[in-house]
Amino acid sequence: MIKMTVETENFFTQERMTSDIYFNLTKDELRRIAETDPDLWKAINVMSTVDTENMSQEDGLKVYSIIRKLVLLAYGVRDGNRFRKTQADRDEFEVSAEFDAVLDQLTDGEGAKLVTFLMQIMPSDLRDQVQQEHPEAFRGLPK
């Protein structure tokens, strides 16, 4: 699970606001992605090698679309000790300033932020396995 803190501006009052946004994917959700959306699954698996700073505009738009989809799939609301993920929550988040701020942070040209996000939304045992199998993709990234 990852908690991202984002700063946004209230549309009505122009006041600055800070919000904590939570993301997580379970093993079951990852399996369902692999079964139902093989293109997204393939993209997740190669995302750690993407050079976001030196790509064409067309490729950049494809990567943005993948990131957008992953953010929405992983988004949830902390509800006490539970992590609630409903379509209504996702729909509300998708039209929020917080959603824009999260996408801005993940697509600012620093590939390390994107790889860190991908790794932290995974279950920890799966993340550890991926890091053991592909240590070269994680050099210099936070644990």
Instruction: Give the model confidence (pLDDT) of 92-118 as tens digits.
Output: 999 999 999 999 988 876 666 777 888
pLDDT value of residue 119: 81
Burial 48-57 (b: 16+ CB within 10 A, else e): bebebeeeee
Helical segments of 1-143, H only: 27-36, 38-46, 57-74, 87-94, 97-106, 111-120, 124-133
Record the pTM.
0.81
Q: pLDDT digit string (tens) for 27-61?
A: 899 888 888 988 887 777 766 555 556 666 777 78
In the prediction, which pLDDT does 138 show? 59
What average pLDDT does this structure show over 5-19? Answer: 93
Burial of 16 (C-beta count, 10 Å sphere; 0-12/13-18/19+)? exposed
Evaluate if residue 140 carries a pLDDT over 60: no
